[in-house]
Structure 1
Amino acid sequence: MQKSIFITGGGSGIGRAMAKKFADEGWFVGIADRNQAGMEETSAMLSEGQCRTYKFDVTDRAAWDDALSSFTQHTGGRLDVLANNAGLPSGGPLTEVTHEELDLLLDVNLRAVFYGAKAAFPYLKAAAPGSCLLNTASAAAIHGMANQSVYGATKAGVKSMTESLEAEWMEYGIKSRSIMPSFIDTPLLQNPPNRSRNTPIRDSVMKAGFEFTPVETVAQEAWNAVHGDATHVLVGKTAKKMSFVAKWWPGYLKRRAKSLAKAHEKSEGRPASAG
């Protein structure tokens, strides 16, 4: 029987690359996003009849049930992988983040991941053993960085949730996995980190000296995560270096965190703080 994967945030970036990767491997793909045009572009890259698209907000619990029910009608009731990939970027000092932005980030990046897991559980259980909950976490979950307090906290939450469900769901034959990429050059990085700033996130990342990982590399590691034994899969040189340094040289990582803070300040024409 053909295997299937349902991917949120499939209208661009990592989600689109995942859809292409799994489709190339012969899987049937469900693509979910709020961006209808983006989903159509992703769908056009796949073979005809190889995917279904679903426009909904991942923070809507009822919409999750409706989407997965509809998708599995096209897969013979089968769901092998749920890829909780939809997310929002954010940055800047906490004092600049509005309460509206704070609530939205928590809802999309964390609360909705739990909604997806709960909605997918009965389908993943039926497809077990070997089915998988795949969460997109981030290298930001490895160590707190300046100007990423809210974003990093949501991704650290996703990391912790993944570990908990790995323990809870293993008895059902369901894997729980996360991918932890560093900076990915996607359209989302063309946006400013928050409403009080106007410089794209991408500019600050480049000024801080961090490298970008291609989305195709992330998609390959997502495939590896689904088929491997590691609970968390670090993606890209920066993520792997951060993990190593966080364990052995945390002081160096703190200095790198400061460099990112200074890059944000300079990008807005502000004097960089000393030290």
Structure 2
Amino acid sequence: MPSTEGAPAKGTVAHLLPQTYKRMVAEWLEEDTPSFDYGGFVVGDDMAEAKLLGKSKGVVAGLPFFDEVFKQLDCTVEWHYPEGSYIEGGKTHVATVRGPVRKLLLGERVALNTLARCSGVATASSNLLSLLRKAGYSNTLAGTRKTTPGFRLVEKYGMLVGGCDPHRHDLSAMTMLKDNHVWSCGSITQAVHAAKSAGGFAIKIEVECQSFEEADEAITAGADVVMLDNFTGEGVRACAKKLKDKWGRGNEARALVEVSGGLTPENVEAYVCEDVDVISSSSIHQGVKHVDFSLKVVPKVQAKGN
């Protein structure tokens, strides 16, 4: 899977989002205020504005979710930094939100939580991709399916903003045959044939492999991708070369070679090899540090002065 960096874009990452994300936002707001809004009663409905401040370094990501939170609350958002921008922190004025003050506060925590998490994923994705590019790797860095239940769309979106491939979105997007599938079925060949009978020509098949022999069997059976799982860096280079020598490279390749399993910024450089088409790592989205944001309502006196 060659890198698509530099390819002409027809739209923005936001154009990929399904309309269902708006329903997700509504559910988040309902979860946060299931009955009375006591704080909103205190402040009332006077018009106000609030500054979104970026307090730590990172890539800004998740604008559509942030926007939708406040759109559903009859507020407007003016962005001063476009999505994908890198901010230096130190209370960078990232956006201005305007609307009834109780609604600014009603959406505050939901919007900030989403933006902070999405930006954290984008930042980790961008950082690891930069590390790999400096190490000479020009192919694809991908995430994994180790995402937070109910929050997958936001995390996959953050990977895309950070420049990475989000990998399969769910069990229906691709057939990935892991060791448990193979053991339950009897063999790699049987598992691949069964997968093909169900998914037909439209669903790609990937097989998790522990050796060259397993990967070779998977490709022979018709797998589209073989994942070299939990190999050493030296083992990956040797196995990937052997597979490419036998099954072809580039447009002639019979299957893609993916490497995964415990890869982190601390060890991933050892796996850099142009015979590897995809490096996948959950370190770009699982347990990543959030980018810190706050939303500060402009005091009335200051607002009048503006």
From the two aligned structures, give the one with the greater helix fraction. Answer: 1
Higher relative contact order (CA 8 A, sep 6+): 2
Same fold (TM over 0.5): no
**TM-score, L = length of structure 2:** 0.28
**TM-score, L = length of structure 1:** 0.31
